[in-house]
């Protein structure tokens, strides 16, 4: 399953494109790429799941998943067409920083607005 992790709007928004069956190895790769980005700066995540066909249940057992989604510098986790199982579990686990959209365009627009406050706050320093 191809996984792509890249800056959509450096250093504010990281995009993650997933397709096919999401395995624990895939999620480990995503988390390994995302955690270093959170060390010194707030980051918003756009997780595009439009091409996902399934999610391995063991993904939710990864301790590193909690480390990623509960990191103090993690802001919104915005999903595009999240897989049903993934959506149900993550909505419960993410406690307020979960949002989903039907299109990537809607998700990007939301993130542009959400990062605006952070950007202005950063200009003060």
Please write the tens of the pLDDT for every residue from 69-92.
Answer: 999 999 999 999 999 988 999 999
Q: Give residue limits of the domains in the chain.
A: 3-123
**Could you tell me which CATH class the domain 3-123 is placed in?**
alpha beta
* Per-residue model confidence as pLDDT tens digits over 5-42: 999 999 999 999 999 999 999 999 999 999 999 998 89
Alpha helical stretches, state H, 1-125: 24-34, 63-69, 84-93, 104-123
Does the pTM surpass 0.95? The reply is no
* Per-residue model confidence as pLDDT tens digits over 91-105: 999 978 999 999 999
Q: Residue 5 and residue 97: Cα distance in Å, rounded?
A: 20
**CA-based angle 11:44:19, to the nearest 5?**
105
Residue with tokens 């010194």: 40
In this prediction, what percent of the chain has a pLDDT beyond 90? 82
Helix, strand, coil share (%) of the chain residues, nearest 5: 45, 35, 20
């Amino acid at each position: 399953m191809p996984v792509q992790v890249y800056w959509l709007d450096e250093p504010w928004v990281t995009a993650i494109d997933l397709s096919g069956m999401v395995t624990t190895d895939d999620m480990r790769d995503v988390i390994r790429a995302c955690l270093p980005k959170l060390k010194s700066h707030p980051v918003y995540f756009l997780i595009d799941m439009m091409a996902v066909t399934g999610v391995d249940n063991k993904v939710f057992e990864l301790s590193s998943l909690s480390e990623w989604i509960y990191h103090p510098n993690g802001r919104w986790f915005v999903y595009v067409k999240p897989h049903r199982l993934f959506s149900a579990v993550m909505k419960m686990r993410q406690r307020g920083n979960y949002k989903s959209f039907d299109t990537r365009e809607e998700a990007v627009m939301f993130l542009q607005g959400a990062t605006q406050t952070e950007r202005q706050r950063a200009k003060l320093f």
